[in-house]
Each structure stands twice: as structure tokens, then as C-alpha cells.
Structure 1
Amino acid sequence: MSRAWMQRAKLFVLAAALGVPFAAACAASNADSNTSDGGTVSTGTDASTSADGAVVCTGSVGEGVPALQTVCGGVCVSYATDPKNCGGCGNVCPEGTVCAWGHCGKNCPIGQVPCGQTCSTLAFDSDNCGSCGTQCAKGLSCHNGSCGCATGLTYCNSACVDRKKDPSNCGACGNVCAPGARCVDGACEACPAGQDICNPGPSARCSDFKTSPVDCGSCDNACEADEICSNGTCSCGPALTKCGTACVNTKFDAANCGACGNSCSSGKCQNGQCN
């Protein structure tokens, strides 16, 4: 197949993937042609003859879809959709399959085309982006038949990044923030005095290790829900005592009345005394 034909065929597939009914396109192609005894599609109304007697193919395979017919054995055929000349003269698709973009495959729903043994939406399939077998590079996704990054992201060094937050590509690809700095709205920014950076990267945060309940003493050292961070150490709050894994008020806790483990049989504790 010529490069020009492949480019035209790709337009046909993208049109189908974006909503031009595949079945209607095939029907239009069949309506404009007839099948000869040799299994090829005759010229019908989609052909004319030049001054030197050569066959010239014209017409289209469907509304809004470019003409994709090629001379094969002296007659016009569509390599894109003809199951008896799929992708080349005389290439017959197996029974039960259809021809789409010059490939034999499954009979797929409208808006999808067969790629091998699967049906694909070429407009959004990262493994078949725009055409069967066209895979998007790592980090890219398929949008309207072209590989690219999602809205708000930029392709930098084989990855889609947010240049507003990524300290390795802050504001521009390759602009690396200094150690201890984070990227805020595309500008490198150091943490305030007394704070350190945790989780360097797009999710970086500045923390005060002395008081942060999620970074108490060090990054990601989180205190329990009933604890506070004081001077970099997780501990129970005022008037509470650590008994096992819980912070309790020994003045009123019947299971730890006056001291950890002192259980009141009555189930009542008042000012550290069982009642």
C-alpha cells in the first residue's frame, strides 16, 4: 500500500471512530460498486477512464469520508473496506470477519474498528491511537486520535507533568528546584523558617516537625487520632494518660480508674476512685 493511501485511510478510520457510521460507509461503498466474477469490485459509478484508457477511481465511501478506492486488476476496489481485497489486491478476509482500514478483523460496533481480535475506538485507545498498532509512549494518552498529555499537563522527559507543582520541571521542562524547595504555581519556593520539606515532588509539603501531627519529629511520622505532637514527640493531651494504645482520663475511666489497668467492678469511676 502507498503512503498516500495509508494517510487517506487513516482519515477514514478517524472519521469512523469519531462518529461517522462505519456501517453507513460500507453501505455507500457497496451501493456505488458491483462485484465481478474475480472477486474484485467493478468500477460502477466510482470510476472514469482517462485519455490513455487508464482507469481512474473517484467518488467516496460515505458522507464526509474521502475516496479510498484504488485500481486493482483494472477495476476500482477499496483496500480499506473490501473484504476480498483488504489491504491489497486479492487479500480475502476469513469468513465471519470484516475489512476496516485494510485489516481483517471482528465486526465491531459503530464507532469502533477491528484491531486484531479486538474492537478499538481509535480516537481514545492508547494502544491503537489513530490507527491499529499505534501505541502512545509511556506517560501519554490518546486524545482524538493523537498521543498527548491530559489537560493541564506537559510532556517532559518521557512523562506528563504539572509544571505548576513538579519541582523537577517547575515552570518549564528541566527546571529543577533546589533541595528543600517545592514548586508552587510554577515557581520554586523554600519552606518557611523552622519548617522542613516532606515528600519532595508534586505533593511536597512544608512541616514543623515539633508540632505537626502528620510529621511529628520526622516526615510521615503520624500521631494517633487522640494524640498531639509536642516537641517532635507524639503524646497524650493534657489530663490524659497513655494506657496501652489509648489516651484515657484515669479520673473517670472505669477500666483505668486512678491508674492504667485498674478496673472498677461497679463500672463507675469518680475522681480516680471506684464507686
Structure 2
Amino acid sequence: MERYFIKVRDKKVRVTEWGEKSHPVIFCLHGLGSTSLSFIEIAEALQNEYHVISIDVPGHGRTDPFDTGEEYEMKAMVRWLKEVHHELNLERFYFLSHSWGSFLALFYVDAYPNDVLGSILLDGGYQTKRLGNQTVQEEVAFYEGDFEESVDSWETFLDHAVFAPGARRSDSLKLAAEDLALKKGGRFYWHARGRTAASMVRAMYKDETADLYHRLPSDLLLLRATQPESMETQRKKTASIFEKETGAEVVEVPEASHMLHWDRPRLVVQYIRNQWS
């Protein structure tokens, strides 16, 4: 694993890479509140077959935040991401994305279809806000509060902020967890700020992936969560619309929460190999 910085628009962007540069490239986009190490177990399993590149998106990890909320809007983010790919000399790649990252990935595929050899979405891109149960104001208020909370110990941070009760853990995931914390005044804070989260949430309401469905390629693969069961009615509803309007393949992954690639990493790796090898 190699970690380094590039400059895009005079701001730092942290990049994490695994594997040889001669291998086919998988470019990874994490979800809201995560970092490039979100994909660590997937990358470690595939590093002898693929060149895996993952970035911290703006305002996450050690990538500088944007100056304005408008820069987090989807079409603006697509333009920024294209500049990132230019700095990395990326021309064509496979796209692996999680959660919010899958929303941005779909906007990118729509804008630059020839760049993308194939796309796998990990429980993201299909949860249209139009059919959600919250208003934009309610969701923004939640994240503004949640991302500013702190705890007094590392163990508490792991138990309450990083891992769900009963979730599997590993040395690699604990390393990824270290990316998620800021320590200040003896307390542990989430690495991304509430202002950043609020801007990203507003952007998801302003630009809906559902408006792109009819234009997207049909070779998309969505691996979707099935836990907690209380959310299954909503998941099935939005996933069915996504499947019907895009022609994509949708797979319900058993015993998997929204952190699907942390819960079932071997299964995700298997689907990647089956889809792209």
C-alpha cells in the first residue's frame, strides 16, 4: 500500500494505491464520512490482479475541503473528479463505489461513459431522495450534529462511531478506522466536519440519480444491503425502480448491512473477479 498527495485546484488530495501500475485499474470512491481506506480489504485481496486506486474525497481524511457548498454538487464534483483522473494519468478504469460514492459514480458514468470499463455499486446510487422518509432539512440537521460529536476514548470511538454492534472486525479494518478519527483535547472526533456532510447531502437532493437512469449503461452491477430488515421494504422499492429503468443487475447480499464491503469482503471480491476478469 502506498499513500501520497496530489494537487488539484491548489488543494491537497490524498491517494491510496495497491498493486502494480501495469495491472488494470480499479478506481474507488468511498461514501459520506469515510476515507480511501474504506476499500482496504478489497484492495488487499485484489492487489496481485489489479492496480487499485482510492482517494479521500474533499473534506474527508486528509483531502482539503472545498471552499463553497456549491462545489460539492454532483455536476461540479464530476468536473473535479475528471481533473483528479488527469493528475493520476487515468484514462480508462473499472469503477468501484460505495454509498454516496456510487451517486457520484453514476453522474461520472453519464458524463464520461468512455472512461469507464465497468461499474460496481456497493449499496449506493439507487436510494433516490424523492422516495425517502426525511426532508433535506431533517437529514442535514442530523449530519451537522452527528459529525460534530466526540467521545473520550479510542475504544468508545470504535464501538459507537465505526463498528455497528456485532459487526466483524479485522486488523485491516482497524487500520481503516484510524483514518476516521481526529484527536483534539483528549477527545476523539469524526474526521469529516458537519459542514462538509451538510453540503454533500444538499447536493444529493438537488441532483437526483433517478433522472439519469434511462441514460446509464445496462452493464452496471448493484450489490445491495439486506440488513437491518426494517429497511427492506424501502430498499426493495428503490432497487426495483433502479433495476427496471437502467437494466442493471441487482444482487441482494444476505447478512450485509450498508457497510457491505466490510461485512462480506470475500463476496464482493468474488463478484469483482466474475464481472471484470
TM-score normalised to structure 2 length = 0.24
Bigger relative CO (Cα 8 Å, ≥ 6 apart)? 2
The structure that has the greater radius of gyration is: 1
Whose strand proportion is higher, 1 or 2?
A: 1
TM-score normalised to structure 1 length = 0.24
Whose helix proportion is higher, 1 or 2?
A: 2
